[in-house]
Amino acid sequence: MNKNLLSIFSFLIFSLQLYSQFGTIGYDFKDSYVSFADLNFAVRLSTDNNIYCPNPEKLTIEKPSKNEIILRSNSLSAAGGQLISNGFIELKISRGINQRISILASASHNTELAKSILVLIKGINVKYMVSEQPQAKGEQEFKDKIGIRVSYPSRSATMPLVFLTTPNEEWYVLSKDKKIRRKGFACSYDHLSDEPVFFISHDSDMRKRSTRIQSPKWVMGKNRNREQIVRERCIDLEKYFDVLPYSRKNDFHTDWIDNLKVVTFLHGVHWTDHVFNTYDQMGEQLEWITETIDGSQVLAFLPAWDGRYYVNYPEHKPDSRMGGSEGLKRLVKKAHQLGVKVVLMFGGPNLSTFDFLKKNNMMEAGLKTPSGQVELQNWLDWNTDLQKETLGLIMNFGHPKYLDYMINKTAELFDTFGIDGIFLDGTLRWQNSPDYSPYEGLVEYTREIRKRYPEKLLMGEDGYDAIYGHFDLFHTSGGPLGLENYLLRYTRQFYYLAYPAENGSAGIHEIGWSNDSPTINNADPKFTIPSISLFYGDKEKYSLRIKSKLEVYKNWKIMPTPLMKN
């Protein structure tokens, strides 16, 4: 080795110190930590077979400048140094303007497929990790040495961004990835060094795997206004993901959304076959509502309009007991005469029944986990018989045959019944699937419907940052979604359909009886369009209560937020 390089290497080894890490693994894994900017950093490669860190015996550390450092090894270590493998791993860290730290990591294994690459960070005395609003469990306290973790995209992390709050300062960590790929964030406890350790991970796209992985750039810093960092992610969304701010959606002729004062849920048929409303009864109630509030300020949202809730998804045909095709046409005609817009609920990504999938040869279209296992729709006891029902599969909108079916079904309903929009249940559903991208499927669906029906409304449930701008409305559990209310930069939202009718029942929805549900207690009406659930007969039983609510809603206005502006 060159004498000068040897001197530099020896100096760095001793002056930058290397630390052992102990976290959720039950022994000293012997990570090689390097000190930089008063923090300590390490890197790991995860493959299908094992997890690796740099081999300390082959480690080099370079410092090209005072603001850069590179940790590199041409050999991999596993099992606390008991196993050595051929491969490569590298961690590059640099510091720029305002002391912002940039992180790049790459690695490869000679024979094993890369799954993810992780960066470990010590030196932040984490008290809270914040990835989303509290009602989404996005604010978690790190205490009692119990680890916490979230992943993106998910309900608890709708951006690849977290804030780490300490007793004296707040850090942020943001991925600058230009694609939708899974990111992980976690806090664990190092029992050997008696301190927190923070993990960030970047996963390979399971459709395009190799033995090599390269993370996009991570950036981190501290004591910046949260809004500034969220806005930075918004700028990335608009630049790299074709996400359109709400203020630029005039071409889609949905500016009537800004005139809405109330969304009325007109429940159809419960999972157990109980009918809450026929189509004609829905029409009666809309007539009654518009005696108090102008119809142009009302959106009629129809869950379970196609028969038993969740039972026939995604057949989506008018229910005969509710009045059939003619009944639905009468309802839409009456609603339009009153100025009311009508939106039908679709199963969307959330469910397709086994019968439908078998009949249409689409069993392979289910949403798969990274390991290729299909996701079942089996999370609820719909009839309180003390057993959860297995109804079918959660679907991957990226599957070409299923995507084509949903586009054609949407077009059929628009053309046949003249409805004003459709709602996709479960747009949040995402996995790093090995066959098709659910994100790419949703984007393709919205683009095709926009092209054919630019005047129609597209709605979704929950969601994440890269799809918000592709939809006009979201309904959400609590609300508003997003750190710093950033969802409102791209779309509008209303209360989740678990908000109860006047008797306290949430109708077809799984929460059932919910006068004191988390969805109500977590709501923030300043940012969400008000809603009312109606069953047939409610207007006689609860006339004064409902009308008093409508009188209040007539004056509702959304509270502006800074991120709503361009």
Task: Enumerate domains of the chain plus CATH numbers.
Answer: 17-224 (2.70.98), 250-564 (3.20.20.80)
Task: Provide the pLDDT for residue 9.
Answer: 42
Separation of first and last alpha carbons in the chain: 56
The residue with tokens 């890490």 is 21
Sign of CA dihedral 394, 399, 404, 405: negative
Bridge-partner residues for 128, per DSSP?
141, 165
Distance between CA atoms of 126 and 103, rounded to whole angstroms?
20
- According to DSSP, the β-strands at 473-476 and 492-495 are parallel
Phi, psi of 315 (to 5 degrees): -60, -45
Distance between CA atoms of 203 and 99, rounded to whole angstroms?
27
Task: Provide the pLDDT for residue 25.
Answer: 87
Distance between CA atoms of 291 and 270, rounded to whole angstroms?
28
Residue 498's pLDDT band (boundaries 50, 70, 90)? confident
Task: Provide the pLDDT for residue 517.
Answer: 78
Least reliable range by pLDDT among 36-50, 137-151, 229-243 = 137-151
Task: Provide the pLDDT for residue 372.
Answer: 97
User: 99 vs 39, 78, 130, 222, 380, CA distance in Å?
Assistant: 12, 33, 22, 9, 49
186 CB neighbour count, 10 Å cutoff? 21
- Chain-centroid distance, C-alpha 464: 4
Which tokens sit at 450? 């926009």
Phi, psi of 19 (to 5 degrees): -120, 145
150 CB neighbour count, 10 Å cutoff? 21
Residue 478's pLDDT band (boundaries 50, 70, 90)? low
Which tokens sit at 377? 């729709």
High-pLDDT (> 70) share of the chain, %: 95
The count of residues in the chain is 566
- Whether 220 shows a pLDDT value over 70: the answer reads yes
Bridge-partner residues for 53, per DSSP?
77
Pair 433, 370: CB distance under 8 Å? yes
Under DSSP, the state recorded for 215 is P
- According to DSSP, the β-strands at 139-141 and 128-130 are antiparallel
Pair 73, 88: CB distance under 8 Å? yes
User: What is the rounded average pLDDT of the residues 373-388?
Assistant: 94
- Whether 3 shows a pLDDT value over 60: the answer reads no
Residue 340's pLDDT band (boundaries 50, 70, 90)? very high
Distance between CA atoms of 498 and 508, rounded to whole angstroms?
9
User: What is the rounded average pLDDT of the residues 28-32?
Assistant: 95
Instruction: Using CA atoms of 277, 281, 287, 291 in order, give the dihedral in degrees to the nearest 10.
Output: -60
Pair 211, 113: CB distance under 8 Å? yes
Which amino acid, one-letter code, is at 158? T
Among left, alpha and beta (phi > 0; psi -120 to 50; other), residue 444 is alpha
Distance between CA atoms of 282 and 267, rounded to whole angstroms?
9
162 CB neighbour count, 10 Å cutoff? 28
Whether this prediction's pTM lies above 0.85 is answered by: yes
Task: Provide the pLDDT for residue 14.
Answer: 36
Pair 90, 105: CB distance under 8 Å? yes
Distance between CA atoms of 106 and 122, rounded to whole angstroms?
20
Task: Provide the pLDDT for residue 479.
Answer: 65
Distance between CA atoms of 380 and 377, rounded to whole angstroms?
8
Under DSSP, the state recorded for 327 is H
User: 558 vs 11, 17, 260, 483, 524, CA distance in Å?
Assistant: 60, 54, 10, 17, 11
* Best-predicted range by mean pLDDT (63-77, 139-153, 237-251): 63-77
401 CB neighbour count, 10 Å cutoff? 12
- Whether 255 shows a pLDDT value over 90: the answer reads no
- Whether 10 shows a pLDDT value over 80: the answer reads no
Distance between CA atoms of 415 and 544, rounded to whole angstroms?
38
Least reliable range by pLDDT among 29-43, 249-263, 418-432 = 249-263
Mean of pLDDT over the chain: 92
- Whether 347 shows a pLDDT value over 70: the answer reads yes
Pair 192, 30: CB distance under 8 Å? no
Which tokens sit at 484? 């710093």
Pair 546, 228: CB distance under 8 Å? no
Burial class (CB in 10 A: 0-12, 13-18, 19+), 518: middle
Residues 503-513: pLDDT tens digits? Answer: 999 899 888 88
What angle separates helix 400-417 from helix 324-338, to the nearest 10 degrees?
70
- Whether 397 shows a pLDDT value over 90: the answer reads yes
Burial class (CB in 10 A: 0-12, 13-18, 19+), 302: buried
Distance between CA atoms of 322 and 274, rounded to whole angstroms?
11
Among candidate residues 530, 512, 524, the one with its CA nearest the CA of residue 482? 524
